[in-house]
Amino acid sequence: MLKFMATVQRLNHVSHEELIHMWENVHAPHIVDLVKPERYRITFFDTAADSADSHPDGMAELWFRDMRHFETTIGREAPPNIDADNFSKYGAIQKGCNLFTNEHLNVAGPTSQDTTKLVFFVKRREGIKRTHLDDYWLKVHVPNVIAAINTTADAVRYSVDLVDTTEERAYDGVAQIWIDHPNATFADIQGYEPDDFGELVEPMLVVSGHEVRIVD
């Protein structure tokens, strides 16, 4: 399957709560009916309603059968009624944050809508090749995080999505950790052994939220 990820930010006149309500109750059913994705998940981030920063309000993850399925539903050949629900009046995909990815599910424990989800948006430093980042990430950093998660009772799931394109995007990958604990942070992960991953990447945007599984 083909996986597509996109972060969404509300428009200036829209509150965080208004966007979430519209997305979950109007836009998501519209996408399910029109696109018929193989899987569809939304992560709503814990963002203050009056926040003026550039952090996303949410992230969509959709799985398609193949590129043809994507192109004819929300891609270049999307039908005219793709925006019939007027979602574009509430929010927009952030520039460079529409990503095709290869997903690596490293720890596959059960989650619920109450599970806190930490999302790490990763961009390599200038001069670092994407192939080098990907190789170090999967072979060195991922095993370190897995070891820590396996010793942390409340940590239940861990995935890494590597961007699959030769074009420059806002991020080179996205890591996600699920923790069965309210207000969880990465500091709750016990026994993490620091490595040189931080030397390869820019300071990461880290946001927390909760995932809603629309189609699973």
Confidence at residue 47, expressed as pLDDT on a 0 to 100 scale: 72
Partners of residue 92 on adjacent β-strands: 9
Q: Identify each DSSP E strand in the chain by its residue range.
A: 2-10, 39-45, 58-64, 91-108, 116-122, 155-163, 173-179, 205-215
Give the domains, in start order, of the chain with CATH numbers: 2-215 (3.30.70.100)
Q: Which amino acid is at 142?
A: V
Least Cα distance to 1 among 59, 73, 57, 70 occurs for 70
Which pLDDT band, with edges at 50, 70 and 90, does 37 fall under?
Answer: very high
Over the stretch 48-87, which tens digit does the pLDDT of each residue have? Answer: 544 456 789 999 999 999 999 999 999 999 999 999 999 9
Confidence at residue 42, expressed as pLDDT on a 0 to 100 scale: 98
Confidence at residue 50, expressed as pLDDT on a 0 to 100 scale: 47
- pLDDT over 50 at 152, yes or no: yes
Confidence at residue 53, expressed as pLDDT on a 0 to 100 scale: 66
- pLDDT over 90 at 127, yes or no: yes
Contacts 24+ apart (CB under 8 A), 186-192: 186/118, 188/152, 188/154, 188/155, 189/145, 189/148, 189/149, 189/152, 189/155, 190/148, 190/151, 190/152, 191/147, 191/148, 191/151, 191/152, 192/144, 192/145, 192/148
Beta-carbon count within 10 A of 33 CB: 9
Confidence at residue 95, expressed as pLDDT on a 0 to 100 scale: 93
Which pLDDT band, with edges at 50, 70 and 90, does 183 fall under?
Answer: confident
